[in-house]
Amino acid sequence: MANNKILYICQQIMPYLPENEESCLCRQLSQAMQEHGNEIRTFMPRYGCVNERRNQLHEVIRLSGMNLIINDNDHQLIIKVSSIPSARIQIYFIDNDDFFSRKAVLTNEEGKEFEDNDARMMFFARGVLETVKKLQWKPSVVHCHGWFSAIAPLYLRNMFNDDPVFCDTKIVVSLYEDKFSTPLDATLEEKLRNEGVPAADVENLGTPSYENLMRFVIDNVDGVVAGSEKADKSLIEYARQSGKKVLDYQSPEDGDFYDNYDRFYEELF
């Protein structure tokens, strides 16, 4: 019998994106937690640089077709899936032509962040949560990896807080060395208010810098993980002082690495 039902909302996963600390951890953690007896679902964006043919992505028709309104504009939600046979896990992809057709991830060829990254992350988070609702799969833990996934806790605490699928869910965010240098669009606060988030809850996002965004996210979660040794230490300390449960950086070389994550999830309840 599964210990927990864990929803992983990931900014990147290897092998669909290049190998790095975050993409490897998301890939390995999904497999390890399943092998520990947990039931998992894992999501990431279907960035335009993800090779659909090589990775054998295919659309899940029964889950696709919904339209999500972001900033007063309709955007079609397309759900795709791929399997990692060696790990016996499936990865769900959130896709949309407006946000994810470009052959890049979060920056252009010059390394400049896309101006619509705020709307893209909102669509991604909403897309994941709406799809999980449609699956009627009730996660006990939602674990967000990377800042691009980090708006999901805000939705869970507001738009989805009374939904029976999510009402008892514990929320975790992992912090990495993935800061964006230019603040997100200045209208992010207004966009979130339009989504039904109380104005008082988003007033600190007047300047949506990485630090302000992540402090805001930490306020809305139950646990914080230092996913990287180079994660912002001031944010880890902010989480600790806020009374959040914190899992300090764990080296993948540690024999108890995955056991520590499993225990951390259990201790949230």
Residue 1 has pLDDT above 60, yes or no: no
| Sequence spans of domains, the chain | 5-267
Instruction: Answer whether 0.85 is exceeded by the pTM.
Output: yes
- Place 2 in a pLDDT band, splitting at 50, 70 and 90: low
7 secondary structure, DSSP code:
E
Q: Are 172 and 221 in contact (CB under 8 A)?
A: yes
CATH superfamily of 5-267: Glycogen Phosphorylase B; (3.40.50.2000)
Q: What is the pLDDT of residues 51-87, one digit of tens each?
A: 999 999 999 999 999 999 998 899 999 999 999 988 8
Residue with tokens 């979130």: 192
- Place 265 in a pLDDT band, splitting at 50, 70 and 90: very high
Q: What is the pLDDT of residues 162-209, one digit of tens each?
A: 999 999 999 999 999 999 999 999 999 999 988 888 887 787 788 999
CA-CA distance, 245 to 146, in Å (whole number)? 18
Q: Which residue type is seen at 53? A: R
Q: Are 118 and 154 in contact (CB under 8 A)?
A: no
Q: What is the pLDDT of residues 146-166, one digit of tens each?
A: 999 989 999 999 889 999 999
Instruction: With CA atoms as reference, report the closest residue to 166 among 9, 1, 54, 2.
Output: 9
